[in-house]
Structure 1
Amino acid sequence: MEDRKESELKNFCSRNILIILGFSSIVAVIALIAVGLTQNKPLPENVKYGIVLDAGSSHTSLYIYKWPAEKENDTGVVHQITECKLKGPGISRYAQKLSEIDIYLTPCMVRATQVVPQSQHQETPVYLGATAGMRLLRIENERLANTVLIAVARSLSKYHFDFQGARIITGQEEGAYGWITINYLLGKFSQKLNWLNLKPNEGSALETYGALDLGGASTQITFVPQNKKIESPSNALHFRLYGRDYSVYTHSFLCYGKDQALRQKLAKDIQGTNGILRDPCFHPGYETVMNVSDLYSSPCTKKFERTLPFDQFQIQGTGNYQQCRQSILQLFNTSSCPYSHCSFNGVFLPPLHGDFGAFSAYYYVMEFLNFTSEETPSQEEMTDTMEKFCSQPWEEASCPVWSPMQGPNP
């Protein structure tokens, strides 16, 4: 009899314990929902934010990124949520007006405080990477370059983010970041998982794109060569992304961005003139005056510097694409190569492999010429369009409604 009573008591207790635990769980869930509703806030999202300022030679852009706290194959899955372009030139141009740097940075940093949730400010890293414009300033005046970075750091540290520093990145780093970015956006790092061991299937790796980046002061080329042997160690980089190893070739050509390359061409062509340069790389009818001292102020033009009998020179455009091309080709020295294969100026370059994505100034020019549609233009089509555009009189070519496919509209 006693055994029966004891058994009934145990069953009663077990049922009630389950009921109590179940009721407690329901109450806990309701409480969480109620707190969220009463505070008019969603339940916390397990994400992180990051802010990067890309300080180029001609401008600076601020990017805000967001990613899940959990990584995929030891690599974060990052999404850009907004971009803010700073008004003004690159930070190297503020070397003689340091007091204006704070004003320069403020609008986009204020924007960042509005986009990133306030609760995440203190744990959101902020990082500024300066590229070729500041690399040139450091060559010209290292103390002044450091002063600019100190002023930038002082301004960025005022905000309640986790400031990680402001520094000049190397050309190799710049090329690598561009290569990672373009392949990430194109989904080239995606890999199928072998669900038996949860590791990437080596046979499922996608062919990566090479990256071509044209800035104002430098240009970069980065790609995975078919033969992984890279004869110049300074051009080799190694990554492990999404569970896979990559060995890439990269090189940054300082002074061969669009702005500095033009300076080099002018410094070369002005020699032997009487102060008037008839230049095929400018439209017919285009005229401007430039100080010789300004032309020689860049480290990129020092090799062309000469004592000239004039302080200023005039540029008169003649608009001839083929002559312009021949003038620019003279900037590339291909006469010697200490390696099995070179690009120019004795720089090692392995045989090109795969498809390439071109961005920055490459994209801006192609977009202007209406060549950024899905259909890739042939080299002949591009050359024909450039010849037509370069021959247009300046007053017509500078018209904002000009269409390279239809000709200028008066």
Structure 2
Amino acid sequence: MSAQREMKEKNPWHTPVTIIITVIGVIAIVALVTVAVLQNRPVHQKYKYGIVLDAGSSHTALYIYKWPAEKDNNTGRVEQKYSCKVQGKGISSYANTPLLAGESLKACLQEAEMEVPRKRHHETPLYLGATAGMRLLNLENSSASDKVFQAVEETLQKFPFFYQGARLLSGQEEGAFGWITVNYLSERLQQGLETMGALDLGGASTQISFVSDYYNGSESPSNSATFRLYGNDYNLYTHSFLCYGKDQVLRMALAHQTQLGPTTISDPCFHPGYSETKNYSVLYDSPCVSNRKPQGAPAAFTHLGEGNFQQCQEVVKNVFDFTSCQYSQCSFNGIFQPPIQGTFGAFSAYYFVMDFLNLTDASIPLDKVKEKLFHYCATPWDQIKKQHPDVKEKYLAEYCFSGTYILTLLINGYNFTSESYSKINFIKKIKDSDAGWTLGYMLNLTNMIPAEAPDSPLLPHAGYVSVVTIIGILILILFIISLRPIWPTCSNQPQIV
């Protein structure tokens, strides 16, 4: 009994004061960790918004983007919240009735009013960018182009958003902004990874943009675009070919086949059994072909299909000029292009055409792609219509031509090989955002991508909590040690056993 009493007297941990201090210390540590965790927990996120209208040659689309308001243009991820396809054709089709161009946008703008919180309306920037369709109209009739823009601006200004203007994008801008979008959404810019090239195909133009180790902008400076994004410098090769969108190329191909003004043509780019009467004046009603209209041509011609992929390739090649080049190397039409490098994202009509043809899988070898197109083009027209009853015949009839054009453009035009073709990713969206120029356009105008790398916290959240915990334990140990001088006093006090 006396031995136990002596052990308790010698062991300071049995004193009430020490026990209380220990318990308080443990509670303090738990409180310290709890406060640290609560302090760093995610808060309810507030968002800002931006709206961009893509006024293309065939249609107009509205996109709403959002990003965290607290981070604004630092590290907040911009993402697509909503999209709306405007009913009807592109605004360039309203050259004779410009007021209707503005009217056509109202339905989607009204939807945007509902999608963007009302309290954010006045601060939400609203942009409209017009591309190749309006570029062609501007070349053909600048007065009509101005009236269409005026009507569009009057409509946009009636809505409660922060209107930032409607303008005509150059082809180089369209290509560069598409490149920014693809690489921003795939987080290649922020992480400093090797970038992805961008291939964009519309109805009236096509763009190619990529970073090349062989191009510093000295040869053909007009094809150079320089950016400093997230602390990294990018020297971009980019070019836009006006009239080489899939719709205008079809006009050029038909113009080549009707240059003598025949009443009937047999076209290998359309399915066997296809037959349609087409108007000469409608076919040549475009700046891309208007100067080629044959003199004394009849009012119409009969367009017959043959369905021969290989012969179709030869027809398509006639719209390119592969002979003239004053540079070290060219793509086509005498335009400089450095060697293809890296992976590419192909979007817009590239995706929609190849998706319809079930050819978006990058694992399909180029030879197999050609084989599939050969069989598709050779399929009788009646059979094609039965297989796709829900697709409008006008669009359905053109997939053989469009698929052949895409392959010819990539291989013969841009010089993709069997190996580099396998590095093309046909994409519609990246992380729920549409691939295209609109996001890159907004990011550029709002300076949402910093030129320098954004500041990052000293420690990640988990590391911060660990450090706080260790410090708290250290404080507790020091506190207990600091009580050591009073331990003898405490142990000499009489204890009741």
- Normalising by structure 1, report the TM-score: 0.81
Residue segments in structure 1 that go unaligned for 5+ positions in a row = 1-42, 192-204, 403-410
Matched, 1:250 2:235: no
The equivalent of 1:266 in structure 2 is 254
Q: Secondary structure at the match of 2:173?
A: helix
Q: Secondary structure at the match of 2:105?
A: helix
- Give the letter aligned to residue 288 of structure 1: E
Higher relative contact order (CA 8 A, sep 6+): 2
The equivalent of 1:57 in structure 2 is 57
Q: 1:78 Cα deviation (Å)?
A: 1.0
The equivalent of 1:30 in structure 2 is none
Matched, 1:286 2:277: no
CA contact (8 A) 1:75 1:241 kept: no
The equivalent of 1:348 in structure 2 is 336
Q: 1:89 Cα deviation (Å)?
A: 0.8
Alpha-carbon distance between aligned partners in 1 of 2:225 and 2:304, rounded to the nearest angstrom: 45
The equivalent of 1:213 in structure 2 is 200
CA contact (8 A) 1:280 1:318 kept: yes
Q: 1:188 Cα deviation (Å)?
A: 1.1
The equivalent of 1:137 in structure 2 is 137
Alpha-carbon distance between aligned partners in 2 of 1:115 and 1:270, rounded to the nearest angstrom: 49
The equivalent of 2:323 in structure 1 is 335
Q: 1:189 Cα deviation (Å)?
A: 1.3
Question: CA-to-partner distance for each residue in 1:212-239, whole Å, 9 max, x for gaps?
Answer: 1010000000000112323111110011
Matched, 1:175 2:162: no
The equivalent of 1:21 in structure 2 is none
Alpha-carbon distance between aligned partners in 2 of 1:106 and 1:235, rounded to the nearest angstrom: 37
Alpha-carbon distance between aligned partners in 1 of 2:57 and 2:198, rounded to the nearest angstrom: 19
Q: Secondary structure at the match of 2:359?
A: coil
CA contact (8 A) 1:61 1:83 kept: yes
Matched, 1:362 2:350: yes
CA contact (8 A) 1:72 1:242 kept: no
- Give the letter aligned to residue 148 of structure 1: V
CA contact (8 A) 2:309 2:373 kept: yes
Alpha-carbon distance between aligned partners in 2 of 1:354 and 1:232, rounded to the nearest angstrom: 21
Structure 2 CA distance for partners of 1:243 and 1:68, relative to 1, 3 Å: farther
Q: Secondary structure at the match of 1:300?
A: coil
- Give the letter aligned to residue 305 of structure 1: K
Alpha-carbon distance between aligned partners in 2 of 1:349 and 1:70, rounded to the nearest angstrom: 42
Alpha-carbon distance between aligned partners in 2 of 1:252 and 1:70, rounded to the nearest angstrom: 37
Q: 1:146 Cα deviation (Å)?
A: 0.7
Matched, 1:237 2:225: yes
CA contact (8 A) 1:73 1:243 kept: no
Alpha-carbon distance between aligned partners in 2 of 1:333 and 1:52, rounded to the nearest angstrom: 36
Question: CA-to-partner distance for each residue in 1:287-327, whole Å, 9 max, x for gaps?
Answer: 11222112222110134232033121110111111111101
Q: 1:75 Cα deviation (Å)?
A: 6.9
Runs of 4+ in structure 1 deviating by more than 4 angstroms, as ranges, are 43-46, 70-76
The equivalent of 1:147 in structure 2 is 147
- Give the letter aligned to residue 394 of structure 1: W
Superposition map of 1:301-316 within 5 A: 301-316=289-304
Question: CA-to-partner distance for each residue in 1:266-294, whole Å, 9 max, x for gaps?
Answer: 11111235310111111111111222112
Alpha-carbon distance between aligned partners in 2 of 1:400 and 1:128, rounded to the nearest angstrom: 38
Q: Secondary structure at the match of 2:372?
A: helix
Q: Secondary structure at the match of 2:104?
A: helix
Aligned residues: 346
The equivalent of 1:100 in structure 2 is 100
Alpha-carbon distance between aligned partners in 1 of 2:260 and 2:188, rounded to the nearest angstrom: 51
Q: Secondary structure at the match of 1:251?
A: strand
CA contact (8 A) 1:238 1:245 kept: yes
Superposition map of 1:34-113 within 5 A: 45-69=45-69, 77-113=77-113
Alpha-carbon distance between aligned partners in 1 of 2:76 and 2:301, rounded to the nearest angstrom: 53
Matched, 1:324 2:312: yes
Q: 1:138 Cα deviation (Å)?
A: 0.3
Alpha-carbon distance between aligned partners in 1 of 2:73 and 2:67, rounded to the nearest angstrom: 14
Overall identity of the aligned pairs, in %: 52
The equivalent of 2:493 in structure 1 is none
Q: 1:74 Cα deviation (Å)?
A: 5.3
Q: Secondary structure at the match of 1:398?
A: helix
Question: CA-to-partner distance for each residue in 1:249-275, whole Å, 9 max, x for gaps?
Answer: 000000000000000111111123531
Q: Which has more radius of gyration?
A: 2
Question: CA-to-partner distance for each residue in 1:91-137, whole Å, 9 max, x for gaps?
Answer: 10111222323431111111100110000101101000000000000
Q: 1:47 Cα deviation (Å)?
A: 2.7
1:225 maps to which of 212, 225, 229: 212
Q: Secondary structure at the match of 2:51?
A: strand
Q: 1:71 Cα deviation (Å)?
A: 5.3
The equivalent of 2:184 in structure 1 is 184
Structure 2 CA distance for partners of 1:401 and 1:261, relative to 1, 3 Å: closer
Structure 2 CA distance for partners of 1:55 and 1:75, relative to 1, 3 Å: farther
Q: Secondary structure at the match of 2:281?
A: helix
- Give the letter aligned to residue 188 of structure 2: K
Structure 2 CA distance for partners of 1:135 and 1:287, relative to 1, 3 Å: same
Superposition map of 1:373-384 within 5 A: 373=361, 376-384=363-371
Alpha-carbon distance between aligned partners in 2 of 1:121 and 1:309, rounded to the nearest angstrom: 55
Residue segments in structure 2 that go unaligned for 5+ positions in a row = 1-42, 390-497
Q: 1:46 Cα deviation (Å)?
A: 4.2
Q: 1:380 Cα deviation (Å)?
A: 1.2
Alpha-carbon distance between aligned partners in 2 of 1:283 and 1:170, rounded to the nearest angstrom: 36
Alpha-carbon distance between aligned partners in 2 of 1:303 and 1:377, rounded to the nearest angstrom: 40
Structure 2 CA distance for partners of 1:149 and 1:44, relative to 1, 3 Å: farther
Answer with 390-399 or 301-310: which moved more.
301-310
